[in-house]
Amino acid sequence: MAEFDVDLFVIGGGSGGVRAARIAANYGAKVMVAEEYRMGGTCVIRGCVPKKLFVIGSHVHQEIEDAAGFGWSIGQVSFDWATLVANKDKEIARLEGAYTTNVEKSGARIVKTRAVLEDAHTIRLATGEKVTAKYILIATGGAPNHGPAVPGIEHVISSNEAFHLKELPKRIVIQGGGYIALEFAGIFAGFGSDVTVVYRGDNILRGFDEDVRKHVRTEMEKRGITIITGCTVAKVDKHGKDYTTHLSSGSSIASDQVMFAIGRHPNVRGLGLEAAAVAINPANGGIQVDGWSKTSVDNIYAVGDVTHRTNLTPVAIREGHAFADTVFGKRPVQVDHATIPTAVFSQPEVGTVGLTEEEARAQYSHVDIYKTDFRPIKATMSGRDTRVLMKLVVDGSSDRVLGCHIVGDAAAEITQAVAIAVKMKATKADFDATVALHPTASEELVTMRTPTARHVRQAAE
């Protein structure tokens, strides 16, 4: 009789957990995956995938407006929110089915129920069944965080509910200044909503390059989105179907929907972590792990947003794969969390990889900046008042490109390719030696010859 029921028990059927389960099963491990909601996790069910579908849909209105400059005469058009939501639901259901099928094809077993740790090797299912496992992987992701409770918090929706609204709000207030808040601001504005963004900091996109932050704000405001910084939502009152949002500044805003997108917290509650002696990282509230994704308990690992390291789906997938390779493939793999490209599907779109100018100047004595801000070719005919930002951050001593920051159409697509060069430690001379692809916006990345700024850090006296 085997010592354990399974070799690996995965708690969470999202991107990281599914990848780990499939790879471990391919190595011959007996694997069970528990998912209490829907297979696919945050990204597929209520995150990046439905969000990107909404973003694509919201672009259509702008495309119609721009068409006139290119000779198209388009008659009266209409938009139906319910159709968008229904078609999105069909696509998410298809993807959920694909995730489920792929796990089962690998030989792993899925149980659609909640799982809680009883000790380091025992998991109790909500069905009452108990399962013992040699190894346990926690991949429960994150959940929206509404922050400190304010009066009327019960009237506020998160991004989860935004995907299932019965009607498109005519006016919406969104609190937050990061990925989710700005992406939904662009979505709702694109579909015709009156959007107000409220953020506590001095400017949106905290942690991004300062030039990116300024550029995105300017472009969003050009598109009619109101951005109020330096204050927070203090109270939300409901009057029938309408809401009044009271701000800490003393002003108030009327709307028919209020959304909070002020961050996400690791989904660690009620997992039985204490019973298994799994430690929480006091610095970020996520499960504490080492470079191998191992927790404070030798046979228990954690990957993805539940660790609160780098909350991006491809990172969770990479961590899950590395865990399976290391533990079941006997091929030790550590994930390099440096130089990870990321995108904000705001409008305009942001793509970034590597260091910001501020980070580079703190780490390197000589930093050269190459920056351009220009009107894209499409705007010359459409007449739209919009500009693209491209910026390279370079080590002035070694000539290595430390960071690339793009704001504009297809920024994410361009950044994925540039990320390869940055990861390979390409130099500015390598960029300069690359023939431009004309006419494109991205050719600017290889034609910027003269630094727009040079920074030399003075040695301490």
- Choose the weakest-confidence range: 38-42, 107-111, 245-249: 38-42
Long-range contacts of 112-118 (CB under 8 A, 24+ apart): 112/35, 112/36, 113/34, 113/36, 114/34, 114/36, 115/9, 115/11, 115/34, 115/36, 116/270, 116/271, 116/272, 117/271, 117/272, 117/273, 117/275, 117/276, 117/278, 117/300, 118/272, 118/275, 118/276
What are the tens digits of pLDDT across the range 239-296? 999 999 999 999 999 999 999 999 889 999 999 999 999 999 998 999 999 999 999 9
What CA–CA distance (Å, rounded) separates 290 from 283?
14
* Tokens coding 169: 């709000």
Section 79-107 average pLDDT: 95
**Which stretches does DSSP call E strand in 83-225?**
109-111, 115-119, 122-125, 130-138, 142-144, 171-175, 194-199
pLDDT of residue 305: 94
Q: Report the candidate in 141, 180, 178, 216 with the shortest Cα–Cα distance to residue 54.
A: 180
What are the tens digits of pLDDT across the range 147-160? 788 999 999 999 99
Q: Report the candidate in 158, 156, 155 with the shortest Cα–Cα distance to residue 143.
A: 158
pLDDT of residue 44: 86
Residue matched to tokens 């993805």: 304
* Tokens coding 68: 């006139």
Whether 438 is a known active-site residue: answer yes
pLDDT band with cut points at 50, 70 and 90 for residue 459: low
Please provide residue 67's backbone torsions phi and psi, each rounded to the nearest 5 degrees.
Answer: -65, -30
Q: Which domains are assigned to the chain?
A: 6-144+265-327 (3.50.50.60), 153-262 (3.50.50.60), 348-455 (3.30.390.30)
Catalytic residue among 59, 366, 438, 455: 438
Mean pLDDT taken over the chain: 95
pTM, two decimals, is: 0.94
What per-residue string of b and e applies to 291-327 under the rule 16 or more CB within 10 Å gives b? Answer: eebbbbbebbbbbbbbbbbbbbbebbbbbbbbbbbbb
Count CB neighbours of 416 within 10 A.
Answer: 13
Residue 426 DSSP symbol: -
pLDDT at 1 over 50: no
Percentage above 90 pLDDT, the chain = 93
pLDDT at 13 over 80: yes
Burial (0-12, 13-18, 19+ Cβ within 10 Å), 85: middle
